[in-house]
Structure 1
Amino acid sequence: MITKEMIDRINFLYHKSKSEGLTEEEKLEQLKLRREYIKEIRNRVKQQLDNIEFVDQHECSDDCCHHHHSR
């Protein structure tokens, strides 16, 4: 789970890396945090995509608001 503390730490390490540089330990921490963050975002996107329900266009009635005309 992405927490506010995790995001704060990622941002802190980013700004420190630009201003004064990071120690090797901080570089490893930054890498680990970024990987966790990206993994969580991917999981959220996957969950959203898995919940998409496709509707067959032929199920629409004549007064449907969508346009399914062939071009």
Structure 2
Amino acid sequence: MTDNKKLVKKLNDLAHKAKAGTITKEEEKEQQALRKEYLQNFREGFKSQIEMMRVFDKEGKEVTPDKVRKIQREKGLRDD
């Protein structure tokens, strides 16, 4: 199981405990930390996807925003 799947499973387990009213203070703190870690991982992955993306119009002309092109050049993902 990947780290992200383990993270989601643990978050779900804690959410069920919270809903049932059996969560402890320590588990609540752990839940907050895990949520923070999950969001950080999600944002990093999403940012990476956006930075790798190339956008084309209906005629096949690239219309990737200049800001994204600049980031791609800095990371060596473009050679134009």
TM-score, normalisation: structure 2? 0.62
Aligned residues, how many? 60
Q: Counterpart of 1:21? A: 22
Matches within 5 A, 1:50-69: 50-55=51-56, 64=59
Checking the alignment, whether the CA contact within 8 Å between 2:14 and 2:31 is kept in structure 1 is yes
Q: Counterpart of 2:31? A: 30
Task: In structure 2, give the amino acid aligned to 1:34.
Answer: R
Show structure 2 runs of 5+ residues with no match. 61-80
Query: What CA distance in whole angstroms lies between the structure 1 residues aligned with 2:54 and 2:5?
Result: 32
TM-score, normalisation: structure 1? 0.68
Deviation at 1:10, TM superposition (A): 0.4
Identity %: 31
Greater relative contact order structure (CA < 8 Å, 6+ sep): 1
Deviation at 1:33, TM superposition (A): 0.5
Q: Secondary structure, in 3 states, of the residue corresponding to 2:53?
A: coil
Query: What CA distance in whole angstroms lies between the structure 1 residues aligned with 2:9 and 2:23?
Result: 16
- Compare CA radii of gyration and give the structure with the larger one: 1
Show structure 1 runs of 5+ residues with no match. 66-71
Deviation at 1:54, TM superposition (A): 4.0
Query: What CA distance in whole angstroms lies between the structure 2 residues aligned with 1:43 and 1:5?
Result: 18
